[in-house]
Structure formats: C-alpha cells, structure tokens
Amino acid sequence: MSEAELELFLQASVRLGAPLALAALGEAVTERAGVINIGLEGAIIAGALGGALGALAFESGGAGVLAGALAGGIVALVFAAFAVGLGTDQIITGTAVTLGGLGLTGAVYQARFGATGTALTLPTLAPVRLPLLADIPLIGDALFAQAPTTYLAYALAPALWYFFFRTEWGLELRAVGEQPDAAAAAGVRVRRVRLLATLLGGTLAGVAGAHLALAHAGTFAENMSAGRGFIAIAVVALGRWNPPWVLLAALFFGAASALQYLLQALGLDLPYQLFLAIPYLLTLAALAGWLGRARAPAALATPWPPPR
Amino acid sequence: GGDAGPGEGDAPLRVALLTAGPVSDAGWYAGAYEGLLAIRDSLGAEVSHQQTRTPAEFDEAFLAYGSSGYDLVFAHGFEYQDAAMRAGEQFPATTIVVSGGGRVAANVIPFIFELEEGSYLAGMLAAGMSESGTIGMVGGVEIPPVQGTFRAFEAGARAVDPDVEILEAFTGNWDDVAAAKEAAAAQLARGADVIIHNVDAASFGVFQAVREVVGMGRTAWALGMNRDQNDVAPDVILGSAVIRIPEAFLEVALALQARGLGGEPIYEGASEGVVDFVLNPALSSRVPPDLVGSMDAARERIRSGELAVPRVPFVETESGIR
Amino acid sequence: MIAVRARLDGVVRRFGSVEALAGASLEVRAGEVHALLGENGAGKSTLLSILGGMLRPDAGTIEVGGRQVALASPRVAWALGIGLVHQHFTLVPPLTVLENLALGRRLQPARLGRTLTRLRAEAERLVQRTGLDVRLDARVEQLAVGERQRVEILKVLLRDPSVLVLDEPTASLAPAEVASLFELLRGLAAEGRAIVLVAHKIDEVLAVADRVTILRAGRTTFSDVRSKVDAASLVRAMVGESVTDVAAAVGVVVVASGSARAAAVGVGVGASVTVDDAARRRPGGLVATLADVRMHASVGRPALEGVTLEVRRGEIVGIAGVQGNGQRELARVLSGRSLPDSGSVQLPAGVGFIPQDRTLEGLIGDFDLAENVALALHADPRFTGPAALRWDAVRAEAERVRTRFSIVASGTKAPAYALSGGNRQRLVIGRELLVASDLLVAEDPTRGLDVAATAFVHDQLRRATETSEGPGVVLISGDLDEVLALSDRLLVVSRGRLTPVPENARTREGVGALMLGDSSAAA
Amino acid sequence: MPRPDRFRLGAGWVGAGAVAATGAVSALLLIVGGYDPFEAAGAALGGAFGSADAFLSVTLVRSIPLMLTGLAVAFAFRAGVWNIGAEGQLLAGAIAAAWVGLVGRALPAWLLLPMLLALAAFAGALWALVPALMKVRLGVGEVITTLLMSFVAIELTAFVVRGPLQEPRGVFPQTEAIAAGARLPALVPGTRLHLGVVLAVVAAVAVAWLFRQTKLGFRMRAVGASPEAARMAGKIDTGPVTLVAFLGSGALAGLAGGVQVAGVTYALYEGYSPGWGYTAIAVALLAALDPLWVLATALLFGALEAGAAAMQRDAGIPAVWAVAVQALLILAVLALDQMRRRANAGSAGV
Ligand SMILES: Nc1ncnc2c1ncn2[C@@H]1O[C@H](COP(=O)(O)OP(=O)(O)OP(=O)(O)O)[C@@H](O)[C@H]1O
Ligand SMILES: Nc1ncnc2c1ncn2[C@@H]1O[C@H](COP(=O)(O)OP(=O)(O)OP(=O)(O)O)[C@@H](O)[C@H]1O
Ligand SMILES: [Mg+2]
Ligand SMILES: [Mg+2]
C-alpha cells in the first residue's frame, strides 16, 4: 500500500466515520437519559432531505445543515411525543418512526422533484483545512481537512463528556437513565430531561444526515441513510455510552468500512461480500477481545412513569 | 385503479409494473415507471405499479394482477423470473415480461436490454481517454445486468488498450451514495482516471468523487449508465451508456396489442436503437476525433451484427442457454 | 398554639380494586416527633408517599403551612419543605454517595465539581453531628442495606426540610445508630421542625414520639399525645382484636402446642424474656460446615477472612454484627448461593434463605404470590412433573403461606410489587420456611415486620428448632434484642471474622462492644 | 426494557378508536399528498381482508414469518435476552433450508421436509450461539452482537447465492428452486396458505405452554424478570438458562427462514428478508411478549403490509406514501393502546 493510499484510507475513515459520530454522540445523550431511539434512521434521512432542501433554498451548505438539524429534531419530537410523552414502548415507536421517516422523505422528495427522481446537485459543505493541524504528516489531511460538521463531532465528544460527568445537569441526565424513580424523588423532571435528550439526539442525527447529503454525497437519494441509524446505535454501545469513546468507535467503524473499499481497489480476488462484512466482523472481534462488558444505562428503553 | 370500464368497443389495455426498488432512482426503475406512464398516455391503458421489498411478495403481486385480469405485467428485474413462471401457468391470459429474465413460456417473456453494446463503447472511450492506464468500475450489487455491462466494458477497453488495468468494486446496494463515493475514491487513489458505474441511484457518489479529485487538480472522468446522465455532472461525465427503457416498454405494449408477443425472448440493443452510447456534448471536444471515429465504427459494426459484444448468456430456451 | 405544619384529611387512594387509604388523616405540628403506626399493609407508606408528592390521592385534602396544596410531584413537596425518606430506596446505584446527595439540588448546575465540594463539607458536618457514618465516595451499589439507609436519611437531612418524613428508617440500622438518629430527630424537632416517623418497634417509638397516630386498614383510628398511651393500648388500636392476641403481639407468645417447651420471646416492648434453656433439647447432628472460608466481596476488600462454622440441627445460631462486615457474603455462602474463594463448605439439601434485600433478591415484583413461592419450589420433586411444574400444588402451597402469614393481598394472583413492605417480608419468610428442612439462613428476617408478625416469625423459628430433627437456623441480624432472645449460640461477625460470644458477654452492651470489634469484651 | 404486562389488544373500543384516529391522520396526509383517502382505505382493506383469498393468500401468508420471528423475540426477551438479531438467524435458517431443499432431491418428502425445517432451526440456533457465548462467557452485551451478526448474515446470504448455492447456470444471484418434496403443502387448496401457519400456531402454543407450565419456562421468566432474585431466591444458574433462551430464540427465527423458503419463495435470493426480524420486535412487544398474542399482533402487521401493497396496486398510492401511512397506523395503535392501559390502571399512574 502506498502512502497516498494509506492517506486516502485514513481520509475515507474519517469521512465515513463522521456522520456515524454525529448521530451516535446524539444517541449517547438520548440513551444516557434512558431512551433508546430506534427512530434514529428516520431522523438521519430526514436530516439528509432537510439538508438538501435547505441548501437548495438558501443556496448555502450552512443553511442546509441548520435545516437538516431542524428536520432531525422534528422527527425526534414525534418520537418523543409518543415514547416520552405518552410512554409508549420505545422500540415499537422507534420502528414506526424509522418507517415513517423513510416513507415521508421519499414522499416529499417525489412531490418536490417528480416521481422518477432527479439528479440533484447540491451546494456542498466545503472542507476546511485547519491551519497547522492539517499539515501534520499522514493524519493531518485525514483529520483536519474535513467539513465543518466533522469538527462539530470532534468538539462534541469532550463537550458532552464534560456535560455528562462535570455538570449537575449531566448528573440528572445519568440518574434519569439509571433510576428514573430515584431521580424523580430527588425532584428531577424525568420526562422533561428525556424529552430534551431525545430532541438533542434527533437534532444531531439530522446534522449527520445533512452531512451525508452536503459534505459527503453532494446529493440526495431515497434511503441514502442506508442503515446508518442502526449502526450508530451499535456504535454507542461500542463506545460504552462515553462520548470520547463513542467518537473513537465511530471512527473505528468508519475505518473498518473504508478498509473494504481499499481492499476492493487493491483487486484482491475474494468475494466482495466478505469485504462488506468486514466492519461487522471487526467490531465483533473488538467486542470479544477487549471492548466487552459494557453496561447500558439501567433504565434504557423503560418508559417512565412505569406502566404498572 | 378501479374496474376496467365496461367497454363500448375494446376494454382498455391493463398494464402493471413491478419494481424491486424505488422509481425515484432517476435510473433503472425510473425508466420503467416512465415507460408505464408512456403506455398509459399513448395507449390510454389502465396502469398500476407496485414496489416489492422481498421475494416473498412476488407470487402475491402476480396473483393480485393475474386474478384481476391484467393483460400485461412488466416485472422489472431478473429476480421475478421464477415467480413469473408460476404465475404464467396460473394466469394464461396475462402476459408477463421479465426484464433481464432467463426463463421463457408462452406468456412469460424475458426482456433483454443489451446494454453491453453501450458499455462496450464506454470501455473504448475510457481506455482511450485514460492517461494513467487504469480505469475503474463501481457496481451496486453483482447481478447479471451489472456483470454483463462490466464484462463488455472490459472488452471495449481492451480493444483500445490491451494493457489497460481495470479495477472493480461493489458497494452491496443501490442507495448508499456515500459508499459509492468511497468506492470510486479508492479507485481514483489507486490511479484510475476514468470510472464507470452501475450503482443506479447511488451513482451521484461516483460523480462526486471524480469532481473532488478534479477540484484538486487531477484529470479524471466519469461515465454515466442506464440513462443519459450527461447533464447530471456535465463537468465530469464524458458520456453515458443508455437504455431507452420507456420507448422499449411502449413498443412491447404496442406489439402485444397488435399481434401478441409469442413466447420468444425480446432483445433490445443498439440495432433497435434502444441501447446507445451518448457523448456529453459539453465535453465532446475533449475527446480525440480518431477515438470518436473508432467508436462510431464500432457502433456500426455492432448494429450490423459484425461485432459481437461479449454477453453473459442466461436465457434458457429449448435450444439451450443464450 | 402550636403551628400545624401539614394536615392530610380524608385521604383516599386506590390501586386498582385495592383501597390502600380509605379516609386517612394526619396532622403534623411544628416541633413534634409524630409517630405513625399500623400493621403491615395498613397504608402508612402510601400516606407518606402522598405527603412526599410521589403519589396523588384520589380524594381528600392536603394543607401545608395552612394553605391547601396539590402535591403534584416531589419537586413541589421539596419546594414546600417536605422531605421524605422512603421505605424502598430511591438512590441511583452506579452513582457515588456524594453524587446521590447532589442529585436534583441545582446548586451549581453547570459546575458539578463546586456542588460536590460544597455538599461534601455540609455532609461531613452532618455526619459528625448525626453519627450516620457513610463513605461519601463509595458507589451506592457497593453499599449494604444499612449504609444505604443512612445515605437516604442524610440525603433528606441535607436539604434541611421543615417537615421531615421517615418511613421505617430504623429497620436496618444498628442499635447505636438508632439511638443517635432519635437524638437527632429530637434535636430537629426542638428547632421547630415537624417529624413524621414510621417504625414498628413500639418501644422505640414510645421513646421518641410526642404524638402517635394509628392507621388501620387505610383509616386513621387513633391520634393522641404520647403521654396518654402505652404499648398495650397502642397495639390494641392497631390490631383491634381481643386482649390475648394483643398480649401475644406485645411480647409474650404462649405456645399452645403440645410441646414440652413453653417458649417466650421478648421483642417489641423491649422487655426481653430469657429463654428457658433447660426446656430445649440438645441440638442434633451436624447439617452444615464451613471451614476456613475466605471470600472477596464483589467490590473491594476481603469480605470473609477464614470463617469456620458448624451448624447442627435444632439449634439457632445467632450472628450479630454491624452491616457491611461480611454477613452478606457469609449468608450467600451458607445458603449455597455463592462459592467462596477458598475453604471448604458442606451444605445439606433443604436450605432456606431469607436474603437481606427482599425487594431485589428475595422477590420478583412482576411475579404473583404463587410464582414467587415457586422460586423456592421449582426444583422440588414434590412440585414438579417430568417437565412441568405442578402449579395447582404450588398455588395451594402459596395460599397456605398467605393465610398462615396473614399476607394482605387480594389472593395468590396478586403481583408482589403490590404488597406493602412488611407483607413482602412475610412472603419471603413463609416461602423459605417451606423448604428449610435442614438449614435456614436468615438475614434480618423481621426487618419491617409489624409487632405481631415479628412475634409470629420468632415463634416459627423456635418451633422449627424445637426438636433435634428440625433444621439448623443461622440468624444473621443487627437487631441485638432479636439475636439475644432467640439464639442458642451467639457469634459476632466483625471485619469478615466470626467470634463466639462468651456466656458472660451475652448482654446488649457486651455484644455491642464485640460487634464494633472490641475483643476485650470477650475476654 | 419493558416488563411483560399482559393486556388485551382486542378490547372492543381500542380497535374502534385506533381505526378512527388512524383514519383521520392518514387521510389528512393522503389529502396533502393529493390522493383520495377513501379509495386508499378501500384498497387497503380489500387487499387485507376483502375476500377469503385476500385474507388467506395474502394477509395470513405475510404474517407467518412475523409470527415465528415474533415468537423468537418473545422467547428471548422473556428470559431477559435482548436478541435483536432474529433477522440474521432467519437468514441462517433460510440458507440451511435452501441447501437441504437443493441437495436432498433424492429424498422422499416425508423425510426431506422435516429435515429441512429441523436444519433451518438448527442453523438459526447456531447463528445465535456466537452472541450467546459472547454474552455468557465474556459478558458482552447481546444487543450489539446480535445486530452485528445480522449484518454478517446479510452478506453471507449474498455470498452463497453467488457461490456455493448459485443456480446451475451460474448467472443469477439466486438458488435453483428447491425440490418439490421440500415444499410445504398448501393448507387450503387453491390458496397460497401453506402448512407453515399450523407450524406457527403449534409453536406459539408450545412456547406458551413452556412459559406457563414448565420448570424451564419458569426459570427463563424468573431470570428475565430479575436475574438477581432468580439467583438468590430461586437458586437458578442463569448461564444455562440464558443459553437456552438464545438458542431457542435462534431456532424459532431459523425456522421462520426455513418456512419462508419451503412455503413461499422456494428459492433463496439476495435481500431475502425485508426486515422480518426487526418487525418481529415490534410484533413481540405489542403482544407484551405473550406467545399467543404474538399470533394476533403478527396478523395485524401482516394485514398492514398487505394493505399497503394493495394501496399501491389498486389506489395508485406510491410505495413511499403507503409506508408512511403504515407507520402512522402503528403509532395510532400504540397511542390508543397506551391510553387504554392508563384508563385501565385507573389512577395508578403517577
Ligand atoms: N405528549 C407529549 N408530547 C410531547 N411533549 C410532552 C408530552 N407530554 C409531556 N411533554 C413534555 O415533557 C415535559 C415533561 O412533562 P411532565 O409533565 O412529566 O414534567 P414537568 O411538568 O416538566 O415536571 P413535573 O411533573 O416533575 O413538575 C413537559 O414540559 C412537556 O413539554
Ligand atoms: N402499587 C401498588 N399496587 C397495588 N397495591 C398497592 C400498591 N402499593 C401499595 N398497595 C397496597 O396498598 C396497601 C397499603 O400499602 P402500604 O405500603 O401503604 O402499607 P404500609 O402500611 O406501609 O405497610 P408496611 O408496614 O408493610 O410497610 C397494601 O394493601 C398494599 O398491598
Ligand atoms: Mg410501608
Ligand atoms: Mg408534570
């Protein structure tokens, strides 16, 4: 492998990891509050479409990101209205929200651009080279010549860590995810915390979708989220619900995905399905080897107040 | 939908379309849907479309259309072929046309688009335009139409430059634009400078990857597939291998109305004018005239049957597999 | 005129078809310690939860500080100065004690560090003042029940409530801690606060209360000042039955069986009656042996350091100790629930086990009574066919347990989560007595039981060990009166080691000293 | 995770209410999209229940894989094993079934068919064994591992239909049709309804019996409800019970894959499952993990899908709209069910 290829591999790792990181960091907040939002996939695809429409309307990638964030937040609001407000089962609600997100984005897309789709070319979110950092050999370009949304992910990891473990709000959030009854007894507004955590998660998933459309693909296609919402949920667990680890896990997953393209480009004569399975196999190996024994928030997926 | 109008005269033709993916892909399925609408508009046919998500739905869909008396069902994908054979037996009055299918019965007709003929020309162009001597192919899922176009692309390229190196990658699906982009980017990094795709809706990722390296000062090109994508990324797409699916569908419907389809596979290729390779007018000046000349010559030889483009034979007939 | 801090009137609360409160009233005044008494399931916890904003009443009025209020949530209650120490813990296990104290305080929302620093100082001061010893930096999940209880109390005290409500705070505290807690409560009352206290030990209650209110079956049946009541009248008001029953409940249980032994236990009123040892037979054969058992606790330091113990049939071996000295691990090893790191363990087949934490370890909240009884019977051939459980037999057994232990529940199909704290404990004890044909390991078996139930359980334990064919009983308890009264042999567990209590040290003081690791008392 | 809390979905007004609320919201959505809601509703109802054939050949046939995977999920969840990888286990079963159905041509049907089903179940269990061992031996949470195994199974399916099991022409990424003797016979002649539905009902009854009556089922429920109490009060060794839950769940999901191959598609394809294993989670949870109720909720989801397909065909509603309406229906059912539960609980909710 040449150095150029290695460098490209690293760049691809970060490119593929960034949307996962954004969505997973948001989901980490949601899950720390005891809510598992399986509807993340729906929020990502909504973010992608919102990003595309916003970028077109305002002719600006930045506006697109904001629109994508809003779209993801709206999807999360629907989820929260049912799962947090009404206390419906989070898994079923999330399933429905993903289904609805994929369906409605398709419907809106077709209504706007015709039933047979169109070749959307979007104003993109151009990479920004960070001075000095981007000049670091090998990893400089990969890490520090990326779209602004990638830097958002970098910044969120320590910021969320601080929030979780160094603020009283974070303490309340964690308590709500572990023992909502105890949190409520201490005067914490459990449902409000859960609502806000879910909204933040959806908003970041929306940013992840906008990033996919504007910083990565430069277009929108139906189903272009391609299961990243579910991968992000796995990434949260892989990162043990701890933001810096979640970021690393997302980048690890990005690298494992990038590896498949690298290996295919190298022309190894193996069935390509093997390459496609690499990210999952590597993650399994990582879990078995040294990343196991993570403990989820105890009240994850438990409605509050409890149904009894 | 609704009931077939009780006719003074002939009841309208009833035509259905089955696709295994969204028709908003601006590609393979979109073409079929446009064909269906063309049939509706030109022939006054009553039309219906269903997108299936799994092979388990195939029999059900045929059952629904067969039992409610549809005349013609376009099953737009090879995967429908087995269920089509079962349905053909059960509903003799319904004609089923299976795009890319491999099995034939009196009323089950494989509909073969010889896109190979277009991608052979694309291969010629790719090898002729490549400065690095490396070109790439990015596929979605490795299915016969994709294999066919890629083998023909290789043959066309080798015809121009026997030593050309050809990379191949698959992303495993048709929707993941980001994955298609990364696959193309990896090939570009390995030195490929002309990339063709067969990833349907995700093709934009390929174009985007090419655009980005061009933006960094390299020379690289992309090639479109399935439909004329030249205006999608007019700055990087040299040309497209196209199938004129809507026209072909309309022709099939007309033929059915006029005389029936008669249990024979339908081949639509360059000689029928359904498959072609179209240069991007915006960039045609960049293509050396003698390359254009040899492509034109090849086109003529294909049309006349003189040049046999490699194909993956798969239609099972009494005389063997063709 | 003393200010009325809080008044609940005509409060009704239903759970489905169960009417937990059917018109209960309670008036709490500034400067008083107000004891709320009642049998298990009388509605005490429900009433206090309403006062703490955890539950909403179906009917009735609540006044706080002279104004009618709707206590819609714990936040509201906190804001009105009402602090509730729950009967079931409301702590977040993976957080540290200090973090639990900080939860919901909003002192410095964006700077947890500062909040913690400030609370640490306050908490340390409070620990000093109250004698409630807690490790501020330990995670709650590492703590034994007693220590958790101390954290609960500390948590509420730190918020400086004007109405302090405590639901059975003493059930898992050591005697010395109970004494200092009560001293503290008196002090707080003297500052003008109102204290509401639920406890089952009438002697304790009478020692500290200014006023007593009694709930029976969801209704307030009695309320008066301390000076006008005595133990017998209180029990009568609680139970509302004939005098002999009352006497039994208060402390003198006359065993009316044909047995030669007339055993008497004194609990409840504190006047211990010594056991008529002569009447007891010699213990029988060896049923369980531990030899040089060592074990690590799930976290941290060694829990058992070379424990050797022999248990014989028909004897009650009392093991006294302050929570967190290894009794949890000892109980698990003795009951075959855990394997030690080293040492030999010989156990019989029929082992009953009453664990320390009934809610998490003893019962399954979502299971009904019969299913909870099945937890002990599912491996017993008498209750199983080749694959299936004989549910009819299990259910019949559960019904027997229910009636024998007077468990207040709609039937054997009632889920365990709907039982009051005391009734949960009754269920566990009743079930374990079924299977303890050879050995019964009991940790604080009467924790949270009302007077009558405590007496009944003690009686059951003594009856079981009446003959040398009966099971051996290991009674692990922090309740000195209980172990002193019941044990044939008494040991003290301290820092993972067992020390026999010499005959001359079998007093509250002597054992108490040993529990705290003072070996000179044994000499 | 939610605790099993038995309830009755069919309770009269819930059904009526669900229909009303859903009708209103979906109608609004369709009108905004420019479609006729009444035509859509007619088509959907007709497609799901309109005739005996619609019900038997479409709705019921669609619900069979959901019944079996729903049971698989309930089986695991009841024991506290959060197996969200029924999808992968189903695919493993489908692969095994296709293999048996292809290589066993020489065998008589009475032997071949049971063998196919048994091997499908076995393969599903085997696929669940990896996360099971990772959980029991290494303590790795199963939510992520079972999900990852599903992604691997999808690629494995894609591989086998191009490699070892590809049809003899070597062109199409699919298998040849399995032997006639390997196919599940029709239950009602003239319809597509196959014997798999009987299998699903028998499995549901068996699982219900297991949970309600047997020692093993009791132990599974105890471990699921409270592992701590199961160990302390029940003296139950949770490891083996957890293993059984994984394997049984995997076997049921694998059986679902086998039944689909033997009863519906007769061949294996890439992209074989539209996500039955994931829908199954919703099916099982909506049934409050009660095996018999799984049959009913699977039927509900089967009808939803049948209706969505018919809406496309007969009312010209595009697939994306049909999916959106389906999502709304699920939300409406959830919401109404929740309100009914609250009402039933009286004032118990805090
Ligand atoms: N059905 C719902 N849909 C959307 N949001 C809801 C719904 N129900 C509640 N919420 C939001 O959740 C928040 C929390 O609601 P809840 O009433 O439980 O808490 P609160 O009133 O803020 O606190 P407390 O009850 O502890 O005083 C509300 O502020 C509201 O915005
Ligand atoms: N969540 C619930 N669901 C159903 N019934 C309940 C629930 N909580 C309490 N009950 C019932 O309400 C009654 C009163 O219970 P409560 O806990 O108030 O009793 P208590 O006086 O505190 O008893 P103890 O001394 O045993 O703690 C009991 O019969 C109990 O079974
Ligand atoms: Mg109580
Ligand atoms: Mg509120």
Model pLDDT for residues B12-31, shown as the tens digit of each residue: 999 999 999 999 888 899 99
Q: Residue A83 above 80 pLDDT?
A: yes
User: How many beta-carbon pairs under 8 angstroms link B with D?
Assistant: 100
Q: How many CB atoms lie within 10 A of CB D14?
A: 19
**How far A26 CA sits from the closest chain C CA (Å)?**
19
Quick check: helix, strand or coil at residue B223? Answer: strand
Of all protein residues, whose CA lies closest to atom 30 belonging to ligand 1?
A: A192
Cβ within 8 Å of residue B203, ≥6 positions away: B27, B180, B197, B224, B225, B229, B232
Q: Residue D1 above 50 pLDDT?
A: no
Split at pLDDT 50, 70, 90, the class of C270 is very low
Is A200 inside any structural domain? yes
Residue of D nearest to A230 (CA): D147
Model pLDDT for residues C327-358, shown as the tens digit of each residue: 889 999 999 999 999 999 999 999 999 998 88
Split at pLDDT 50, 70, 90, the class of C385 is confident
The C-alpha atoms of residue D260 and residue D266 are separated, in whole angstroms, by 8
Structure letter (DSSP) for residue A287: I
Contact partners of D by the rule of 3+ C-beta pairs under 8 A?
Answer: A, B, C
Q: In the beta sheet, which residues pair with residue B266?
A: B111
Domain residue spans of chain D: 10-347
The C-alpha atoms of residue A19 and residue C113 are separated, in whole angstroms, by 32
Instruction: Look at residues D72, D60, D14 and name the one whose alpha carbon lies nearest to residue D284.
Output: D72
Decide: D26 and D325 in contact? Cβ < 8 Å.
yes
Return the percentage of chain B with pLDDT > 90, whole number: 78
What one-character-per-residue DSSP string does B250-286 give?
HHHHHHHHHH--TT--EEE-TTTTSEEEEE-TTTGGG
Of all protein residues, whose CA lies closest to atom 24 belonging to ligand 1?
A: A189
The C-alpha atoms of residue B209 and residue A11 are separated, in whole angstroms, by 13
- For A14-28, A171-185, C266-280, which range has the lowest pLDDT when averaged over its residues? C266-280
Question: In total, how many domains does chain A have?
Answer: 1
What is the identity of the amino acid at C419?
Answer: L
Res C265: pLDDT: 32
Res C36: pLDDT: 96
Res A107: pLDDT: 92
Q: In the beta sheet, which residues pair with residue B173?
A: none
Site from A168, A192, A295, A304 to mutate, C interface, most C CB atoms within 10 angstroms: A168
What tokens appear for D223 in the block? 């471990």
Split at pLDDT 50, 70, 90, the class of C278 is very low
**Strands C497-500, C489-494: parallel, antiparallel or unpaired by DSSP?**
antiparallel
Section A168-188 average pLDDT: 95
Model pLDDT for residues C191-240, shown as the tens digit of each residue: 999 999 999 888 888 889 999 999 999 999 999 999 898 888 888 888 76
DSSP alpha helix (H) spans, C165-278:
175-190, 202-208, 231-239, 243-250
Split at pLDDT 50, 70, 90, the class of B6 is very low
The C-alpha atoms of residue B130 and residue A145 are separated, in whole angstroms, by 28
Of all protein residues, whose CA lies closest to atom 29 belonging to ligand 1?
A: A192
How is domain D10-347 classified at the architecture level of CATH?
A: Orthogonal Bundle (1.10)
Decide: C88 and C42 in contact? Cβ < 8 Å.
no
Res C247: pLDDT: 45
Res C2: pLDDT: 63
Res C280: pLDDT: 53
Section C397-408 average pLDDT: 93
Res C131: pLDDT: 79
* HEC-encoded secondary structure of C350-376: CEEEECCCHHHHHCCCCCEHHHHHHHH
Model pLDDT for residues D244-276, shown as the tens digit of each residue: 999 999 999 999 999 999 999 999 999 999 999
What tokens appear for D73 in the block? 């999920």
> Is some CB atom of chain D closer than 8 A to the CB atom of C456?
no
Of all protein residues, whose CA lies closest to atom 4 belonging to ligand 1?
A: A81
Average pLDDT of every residue of chain A: 92
Of A75, A172, A188, A192, which is best to mutate to test ligand 1, by the most ligand atoms within 8 angstroms of its C-beta? A192
Model pLDDT for residues B92-126, shown as the tens digit of each residue: 999 999 999 989 999 999 999 999 999 999 999 99
What one-character-per-residue DSSP string does C69-103 give?
----SHHHHHHTTEEEE-SS----TTSBHHHHHHT
The C-alpha atoms of residue C404 and residue D195 are separated, in whole angstroms, by 52
Tell me, using a 6 A CB cutoff, whether residue C129 lines ligand 1. Answer: no
- For C254-263, C383-392, D15-24, which range has the lowest pLDDT when averaged over its residues? C254-263
Res D4: pLDDT: 28
Average pLDDT of every residue of chain C: 86
Of all protein residues, whose CA lies closest to atom 22 belonging to ligand 2?
A: C45
Decide: D56 and D193 in contact? Cβ < 8 Å.
yes
Tell me, using a 6 A CB cutoff, whether residue C356 lines ligand 2. Answer: no
Q: Residue A192 above 90 pLDDT?
A: yes
Section C89-99 average pLDDT: 94
Return the percentage of chain D with pLDDT > 70, whole number: 92
Q: Residue C138 above 90 pLDDT?
A: yes
Helix C391-404 and helix C369-377, axial crossing angle in degrees, nearest 10: 110
Q: Residue D87 above 60 pLDDT?
A: yes
Longest pairwise C-alpha distance within chain B: 67
| CATH number assigned to the domain comprising residue A289 | 1.10.3470
What tokens appear for C243 in the block? 């005098």
Q: What sign has the CA pseudo-torsion C168, C172, C177, C178?
A: positive
Higher pLDDT, residue C357 or A27: A27
**Per DSSP, which regions of C1-50 are E strands?**
4-15, 18-29, 33-38
Higher pLDDT, residue D102 or B26: D102
**How far D157 CA sits from the closest chain A CA (Å)?**
9
Structure letter (DSSP) for residue D268: -
Res A308: pLDDT: 55
Give the closest of D62, D260, D313 to B48, CB-based.
D313
User: How many beta-carbon pairs under 8 angstroms link C with D?
Assistant: 84
Q: Residue C298 above 80 pLDDT?
A: no
- Chain D hits for A97, Cβ within 8 Å: 327, 331
Res C241: pLDDT: 57
Higher pLDDT, residue A173 or A122: A173
Res C518: pLDDT: 61
Higher pLDDT, residue B8 or D315: D315
Model pLDDT for residues A204-251, shown as the tens digit of each residue: 999 999 999 999 998 999 999 999 999 999 999 889 999 999 999 999
Is A302 inside any structural domain? no
Quick check: helix, strand or coil at residue B319? Answer: coil
The C-alpha atoms of residue D150 and residue D277 are separated, in whole angstroms, by 9
Split at pLDDT 50, 70, 90, the class of C523 is very low
Q: Provide the ipTM.
A: 0.88
Res C238: pLDDT: 82
The C-alpha atoms of residue C78 and residue C162 are separated, in whole angstroms, by 10
Residue of B nearest to D163 (CA): B142
Q: D117-149 burial by CB neighbour count: b if 16+ within 10 A, else e?
A: bbbbbbbbbbbbebbbebbbeeebbbbbbbbbb
- Chain A hits for C113, Cβ within 8 Å: 166
Q: How many CB atoms lie within 10 A of CB A239?
A: 25
Q: Do D233 and C387 touch (CB under 8 A)?
A: no
Range of the domain at A239: 3-293
Q: What sign has the CA pseudo-torsion C372, C376, C382, C388?
A: positive
Quick check: helix, strand or coil at residue D57? Answer: helix
Model pLDDT for residues C22-71, shown as the tens digit of each residue: 999 999 999 999 999 999 999 999 999 999 998 999 999 999 989 999 99
What tokens appear for D72 in the block? 């698989």
Q: Do A166 and C104 touch (CB under 8 A)?
A: no
Higher pLDDT, residue D191 or D338: D191
Q: Residue C257 above 80 pLDDT?
A: no
Tell me, using a 6 A CB cutoff, whether residue C51 lines ligand 2. Answer: no
Q: Residue B207 above 80 pLDDT?
A: yes
Res C520: pLDDT: 52
Q: Residue D17 above 80 pLDDT?
A: no
Is A306 inside any structural domain? no
Q: What sign has the CA pseudo-torsion B235, B236, B237, B238?
A: positive
Is A307 inside any structural domain? no
Strands lying side by side in the sheet with C439-443:
C351-354, C439-443, C472-477, C316-320, C489-494, C497-500
Res C132: pLDDT: 82
Q: Residue D74 above 90 pLDDT?
A: yes
Instruction: Look at residues B137, B58, B147, B55 and name the one whose alpha carbon lies nearest to residue B100.
Output: B147
> Is some CB atom of chain B closer than 8 A to the CB atom of A270?
no
Q: Which residue bears the tokens 């219906």? A: B48
Section B238-253 average pLDDT: 95
Cβ within 8 Å of residue B118, ≥6 positions away: B149, B241, B242, B243, B270, B275, B276, B277
Model pLDDT for residues C158-204, shown as the tens digit of each residue: 999 999 999 999 887 777 778 888 998 999 999 999 999 999 888 88
Model pLDDT for residues D105-132, shown as the tens digit of each residue: 999 999 999 999 999 999 999 999 999 9
Res D349: pLDDT: 31
Q: What sign has the CA pseudo-torsion A79, A80, A82, A83?
A: positive
Q: How many CB atoms lie within 10 A of CB B61?
A: 23
Res D344: pLDDT: 64
Q: Do D272 and B54 touch (CB under 8 A)?
A: yes
Give the closest of C94, C103, C417 to A186, CB-based.
C103
Model pTM above 0.80: yes
C-alpha C451 – ligand 3 centre gap (Å): 14
Model pLDDT for residues B133-169, shown as the tens digit of each residue: 999 999 999 888 899 999 999 999 999 999 999 999 9
Res C155: pLDDT: 94
CA-to-CA dists, residue C399 to B67, C373, C381, C411, angstroms: 61, 10, 19, 8
What one-character-per-residue DSSP string does C416-454 give?
GGGS-HHHHHHHHHHHHHHH-SSEEEEESTTTT--HHHH
